[in-house]
Structure 1
């Protein structure tokens, strides 16, 4: 029987630490922390809701991260 694959890990930092940061600095920091995908979105953007391991989402208002969440 084939082994069950282990999903890739996720960085262990909290999305809340990105709120209030300049969006470009937040993206650099997220990539340095090991997030494989970083997505910056305007408020109210229509997005897919599937959960992706290793993805960090930012809602950006006036050049700053207003909200951040995994997936």
Structure 2
């Protein structure tokens, strides 16, 4: 998949912030989940390829302003 320069540049500008957010989510939810018997799985960052696939699928006109789900996490509750 070819990633357009604008998307590559956008991702480059936000990648460090996304990684920091992922780390903070992992730490915070991981610590909160332990005493509540919640099996915390992991936070994840959407890759450039996934962003591009979503842009193509959704037909965003201005993806930098429209795409919202760049970081996600999963909690498993028993």
After TM superposition, the score normalised by the length of structure 1 is 0.27
**Structure index of larger Rg:** 2
**Higher helix content, 1 or 2:** 2
